Amino acid sequence: MIENKEVKFTPLIQFNEFELIHEWTKNFKQYHPNLLKGIGDDCAVQQISENQVLLTSTDLLVEGVHFDLSYTPPIHLGYKSAMVNFSDIIAMNAMPTSITVSIACSNFHSFELIQQIYQGIQIACDELQVDLIGGDTSSSRKDLIISITVNSIFDKEKIVYRSGAKHADLICVTGDLGAAYAGLQILEREKQVFLQNPNVQPDLNEYDYVIERQLRPRARYDMIRFFNENQLQPSSMIDISDGLSNEINHLSKASKLGAVIYQDKLYSDYQTQKVSELLNIPLTTFMLYGGEDYELIFTISPQKYNEVTKNKDIRIIGYMTEQFSEPMLLQLDESYIPLKPYGYHHFGKS
Amino acid sequence: MIENKEVKFTPLIQFNEFELIHEWTKNFKQYHPNLLKGIGDDCAVQQISENQVLLTSTDLLVEGVHFDLSYTPPIHLGYKSAMVNFSDIIAMNAMPTSITVSIACSNFHSFELIQQIYQGIQIACDELQVDLIGGDTSSSRKDLIISITVNSIFDKEKIVYRSGAKHADLICVTGDLGAAYAGLQILEREKQVFLQNPNVQPDLNEYDYVIERQLRPRARYDMIRFFNENQLQPSSMIDISDGLSNEINHLSKASKLGAVIYQDKLYSDYQTQKVSELLNIPLTTFMLYGGEDYELIFTISPQKYNEVTKNKDIRIIGYMTEQFSEPMLLQLDESYIPLKPYGYHHFGKS
């Protein structure tokens, strides 16, 4: 009873996240015909009436793995925890309706700390008019844990999947790339300086933009409104949580097509460029592999070129090709290299 | 930036769970008129069409707080994690439709351990025909964390709230009381024996029933079917997660009525009685304050006496009184004592 009877112990490090999810869930049966999409897109999609669907997405955030309270103001942590979930709904071309929030904390955490996390969640909810409908508060032995599930009740016909891209569709991306990862590098560097000499107060003003992109990302719901106002319907869409290269691989695989991305069309902010120089890491690494930007990548018919380019915060960075193959990057020297799903093979920070 | 600027640090231990949730969430606004019930029942209830509602409930389980892997077989842990969530839906007189499962684990946990947890979840899903629609796998620094959110799409008219009890309604309870808590006492005792002498293999056969009630509780969905087949509609209902006394307090407060419970009508299993004698703890303590039974407490019109008592696993234990007041226990000596919401003031194991 008490004894550990486990026969085999295979370390998790041998697998990537997608292999694990597949292995663990492959034998589950589907009982309800209203389930239009289960595991494998940004959200699950269930039909709830002739014209409406229920979208559901969930995230589990653990202290020391997904966030660091030594440099994350708790109000930003709350805001970000909600926003990254909203971003999953937005990536389906919908708007979130309601969330549940569960928090587990220990006696290392104060009433005020958790209060500020909830305040941040509330700011995000007010911004997108989302109802907090339930949750759970409990104890942990040490680490703070935040679990958020978001629901959306939305028009079925508006929903955009990862799998809808067509041959010759334009690949578009919103905003600038790599800023959140650049911000993380600065924060981690300053943390080390602080740990060595707690009297040094860093001046981070020159990196304020990239730090804000890391600590307080805003999901691109303005784009959902832009699409709606201009009767634009992307053929596929995904948000950038794990880096552009990784997300392009998801779109390509789900849509069973190839993709070409032009390196010279990738756009980053001046501060991201400064961090790249400071740390001597190629700027392309930030733009292709930097996670947590929560920008949108979408594909759309080339006939919509004029309408899409009306929005100056959308850039066309490539196009979908006919055959399913590894997405390719057309480099500045006009040679092609494959875009690898970097970050993909790590069971860890993601 | 890096420095901890927190001014005030109020320890969480000063509050109970309900005060905390209230304080942290009181400023949230409600944006959607379809939200029929937010925080404060077993589930959130959102109207999704003229006749249908969406029920949502969520739970966060943390190793070392909510479960102990030293005596919990992982397949049972998975089963129980799903079942306790299903029980929240069942307590609204509905059946669950879908769940999301998020698991965070560390390198202390093996592939096979998590696989067995998922197998247990699958057994529970197969039993109630529930779809696994999504989830998240990530890392923790040490403890295993399981977060489950369950949805149900169900007939609006069938839904039973905590708040619907009427004056003179019968108070009924399913099954026997205190068994899960008795099982926990035995497991904790055997763990201590094992830690002192790992060569002793305990013989736990004489406590098999109460141990199973602790490790592998089954939500009472059979009662939902019984109600449905007999056109019975409880006026209010709740499941026993935190002990009968606590739950009666919830029903009474939500329904704004008093309640009288007859001590001589409370029923426990023979093994629970044996554990009570063994540990020298009064049996009434197990029956009134023992958590995790996941039995149902419901109220129903006295006119339904004959139909309800057809089911031999339902016992009538009291009735609702006219004025809102503290629920009372009529003891064997015919004196009354108030039923306190025991367990209520602990921020901790719940």
Q: Does B97 touch chain A (CB under 8 A)?
A: yes
Locus of tokens 């919990």 = B72
User: Cβ(B133)–Cβ(B99) under 8 Å?
Assistant: yes
What pLDDT does residue A135 have? 85
Pull the structure tokens for residue B224.
């939902």
Q: What are the backbone angles phi and psi of residue A265, rounded to the nearest 5°?
A: -95, -10
Q: Strand, coil or helix: what is A314?
A: strand
What pLDDT does residue A346 have? 38
Provide the sign of the torsion angle of the four alpha carbons B206, B209, B210, B215, taken in this order: positive
Amino acid at A332: L
**CB-side exposure of A255: number of CA atoms within 13 Å?**
34
Residues in Cβ contact with B174 at an 8 Å cutoff, skipping those fewer than 6 apart: B220, B223, B295, B296, B313, B314, B315
What pLDDT does residue A345 have? 39
Going along chain A from its start, the domains and CATH numbers come out as 32-158 (3.30.1330.10), 162-338 (3.90.650.10)
Give per-residue pLDDT as tens, A120-137: 999 999 999 999 999 888
Give per-residue pLDDT as tens, B69-126: 999 999 999 999 999 999 999 999 999 999 999 999 998 999 999 999 999 999 999 9
What pLDDT does residue A189 have? 93
Q: Does A279 touch chain B (CB under 8 A)?
A: no
Paired sense of beta strands A328-330 and A258-262, if any: parallel
Nearest-by-Cβ selection for B139 from A48, A133, A348: A348
Average of pLDDT values for B243-260?
96
Q: Is the pTM of this model over 0.90?
A: yes
Q: Does B113 touch chain A (CB under 8 A)?
A: yes
Which residue on chain B is closest to A190 by alpha carbon?
A: B2
Give per-residue pLDDT as tens, B296-332: 999 999 999 999 999 999 999 999 999 899 999 999 9
Which residue on chain A is closest to B350 by alpha carbon?
A: A138
Pull the structure tokens for residue A281.
């890491």
What pLDDT does residue A2 have? 52
Q: Does A59 touch chain B (CB under 8 A)?
A: yes
Q: Does B270 touch chain A (CB under 8 A)?
A: no
Is the pLDDT confidence value at A61 over 60?
A: yes
Amino acid at B284: T
B208-to-A67, B200, B214, B217, B349 alpha-carbon distances in Å? 43, 18, 10, 13, 24
The span from the CA of B180 to the CA of B124, in Å, is 18
**Chain A to chain B, count of Cβ pairs less than 8 Å apart?**
309
Q: Does A271 touch chain B (CB under 8 A)?
A: no
The pLDDT-based confidence of B16 (bands split at 50, 70, 90) is: confident
Q: Strand, coil or helix: what is A274?
A: helix
Chain A neighbors of B16, CB-CB under 8 A: none
Q: Does B31 touch chain A (CB under 8 A)?
A: yes
What pLDDT does residue B26 have? 93
The span from the CA of B286 to the CA of B292, in Å, is 11
* Percentage of chain A lying above the pLDDT 90 cut: 83
What pLDDT does residue B344 have? 39
Cβ-defined contact of B6 to A112 (cutoff 8 Å): yes
Cβ-defined contact of B56 to A136 (cutoff 8 Å): no
**Residue B207: Cβ within 10 Å count:** 24
What pLDDT does residue B325 have? 92
Is the pLDDT confidence value at A90 over 80?
A: yes
* Edge-to-edge strand ranges of the sheet holding A236-239: A236-239, A296-300, A170-174, A314-321, A258-262, A328-330, A336-338
The span from the CA of A119 to the CA of A75, in Å, is 6
Give per-residue pLDDT as tens, A163-205: 999 999 999 999 999 999 999 999 999 999 888 888 877 778 8
User: Cβ(A171)–Cβ(A299) under 8 Å?
Assistant: yes
Mutate to test the interface with A, among B27, B28, B37, B59 (most CBs of A within 10 A): B28
Distance from CA of A322 to the nearest CA of B (A): 30
A231-to-A128, A227, A261, A300, B60 alpha-carbon distances in Å? 21, 6, 26, 12, 41
Nearest-by-Cβ selection for A1 from B10, B71, B347: B71
Give per-residue pLDDT as tens, B57-80: 999 999 999 999 999 999 999 999
The span from the CA of A299 to the CA of A173, in Å, is 9
The span from the CA of B45 to the CA of B57, in Å, is 9
Mutate to test the interface with B, among A65, A132, A204, A206 (most CBs of B within 10 A): A132
Average of pLDDT values for B213-231?
97
Q: Does B192 touch chain A (CB under 8 A)?
A: no
Q: Which residues pair with A260 in a beta bridge?
A: A319, A328
Average of pLDDT values for A148-154?
96
What pLDDT does residue B111 have? 94
Is the pLDDT confidence value at B346 over 60?
A: no
**Residue A209: Cβ within 10 Å count:** 15
The span from the CA of B111 to the CA of A285, in Å, is 32
Distance from CA of B39 to the nearest CA of A (A): 5
**Residue B156: Cβ within 10 Å count:** 14
Mutate to test the interface with B, among A13, A71, A140 (most CBs of B within 10 A): A140
Chain B neighbors of A201, CB-CB under 8 A: 1, 3
Chain B neighbors of A14, CB-CB under 8 A: 111
Cβ-defined contact of A134 to B198 (cutoff 8 Å): no
Distance from CA of B207 to the nearest CA of A (A): 12
Show the 3-state SS of chain B: CCCCCCCCCCEHHHCCHHHHHHHHHCCCCCCCCCEEECECECCEEEECCCCEEEEEEEEEEEECCCECCCCCCHHHHHHHHHHHHHHHHHCCCCCCCEEEEEEEECCCCEHHHHHHHHHHHHHHHHHHCCEEEEEEEEECCCCCEEEEEEEEEEEHHHCCCHHHCCCCCEEEEECCCCHHHHHHHHHHHHHHHHHHCCCCCCCCHHHHHHHHHHHCCCCCHHHHHHHHHCCCCCCEEEECCCCHHHHHHHHHHHHCCEEEEEHHHCCCCHHHHHHHHHHCCCHHHHHHHCCCCCCEEEEECHHHHHHHHCCCCEEEEEEEECCCCCCEEECCCCCEEECCCCCCCCCCCC
Give per-residue pLDDT as tens, A205-263: 899 999 999 999 999 999 999 999 999 999 999 999 999 999 999 999 999 999 999 99
Is the pLDDT confidence value at B349 over 90?
A: no
Cβ-defined contact of B21 to A59 (cutoff 8 Å): no
Q: Does B131 touch chain A (CB under 8 A)?
A: yes
Q: Does B84 touch chain A (CB under 8 A)?
A: no
The span from the CA of A306 to the CA of A298, in Å, is 16
Q: Which residues pair with B54 in a beta bridge?
A: B46, B153
Q: Does B18 touch chain A (CB under 8 A)?
A: no
Locus of tokens 């039974």 = B293
What pLDDT does residue B348 have? 37
What pLDDT does residue B171 have? 98
Strands (E), A66-177: 98-105, 131-139, 145-155, 170-174
B:160-189 residues touching chain A, CB 8 A cutoff: 187
Q: Which residues pair with B321 in a beta bridge?
A: B258
What pLDDT does residue B92 have? 97
Pull the structure tokens for residue B329.
């226990």
Chain A neighbors of B30, CB-CB under 8 A: 131
B:237-256 residues touching chain A, CB 8 A cutoff: none
Cβ-defined contact of A138 to B202 (cutoff 8 Å): no
Distance from CA of B135 to the nearest CA of A (A): 6
What pLDDT does residue B18 have? 79
Closest-CA residue to A35 (of A48, A23, A22): A48
Is the pLDDT confidence value at A12 over 90?
A: no
Which residue on chain B is closest to A188 by alpha carbon?
A: B2
